[in-house]
Amino acid sequence: MNNLSTEQQDLKLSAWNVKRLSIMAIFIALSAVGALIKIPSPVGTIGMDSAPGFFTALAFGGVMGAIVIAFGHLLTAAVIGFPMTIPIHLYIALQMALWAVAYRWVNEKLGLIPAVIVGIILNGVVSSLAMFPIIGMGGVMGLMPFLIVGAALNVIISAVAYKAIKGSRLI
């Protein structure tokens, strides 16, 4: 009897893993579509790829959102040939993953509006400043306005979508 219980538990865990992977695959695909929608900028990698990752963080958890948003950035960079080199884009993808987790955490602790503000600041301002060793202060100041606009669009879209379906059975 105990073996049957363990088998049923394993089956439930397996079904949950399949569901999680399916959700992430759907939102990574949405990120790929968003990667094709570019916000004109000096670097060319600012797109609408992170809204699905930010949404996933809110709706399904920080870890899932982190995975989706990291892949979303890498897809955006891949579309235009990794203009800042693959290691730099991996660094940016890691930042984006951290921002998704922070976005989820602030939403849980303080609410959606503070989370939106923090998400825009982290993705727009802090991400720009994190590029200082690579592109210098002139590059940071040139990049920041474009990154803030991109961050605002992506974060606000994710928050509006989350708010619209928060109480539904979809999430």
Q: What is the pLDDT of residues 49-108, one digit of tens each?
A: 999 999 999 999 999 999 999 998 998 888 888 988 999 999 999 999 999 999 999 999
Q: For tokens 């606000």, name the residue.
A: 156
Angle at Cα 164 formed by Cα 161 and Cα 167, nearest 5°? 125
* pLDDT, tens digit, 9 for 90 and up, residues 103-134: 999 999 999 999 999 999 999 999 999 999 99
CATH number of the domain within which 93 lies: 1.10.1760.20
Number of domains in the chain: 1
> What proportion of the chain, given as a percentage, has pLDDT over 70?
89
Q: Which residues contact 70 (CB under 8 A, 6 or more apart)?
A: 53, 93, 94, 96, 97
**Can you give the residue range of the structural domain that contains 140?**
2-165
Query: According to the 3-state scheme, what is the secondary structure of the chain?
Result: CHHHHHHHHHHHHHHHHHHHHHHHHHHHHHHHHHHCCECCCCCCCCECCCHHHHHHHHHHCHHHHHHHHHHHHHHHHHHCCCCCCHHHHHHHHHHHHHHHHHHHHHHHHHCHHHHHHHHHHHHHHHHHHHCHHHHHHHHHHHHHHHHHHHHHHHHHHHHHHHHHHCCCCCC
Q: pTM of the prediction?
A: 0.87
Is 152 inside any structural domain?
A: yes
Is 171 inside any structural domain?
A: no
Q: Which two tokens stand for residue 128?
A: 């720009």
Is 151 inside any structural domain?
A: yes
Q: Which two tokens stand for residue 151?
A: 């961050």
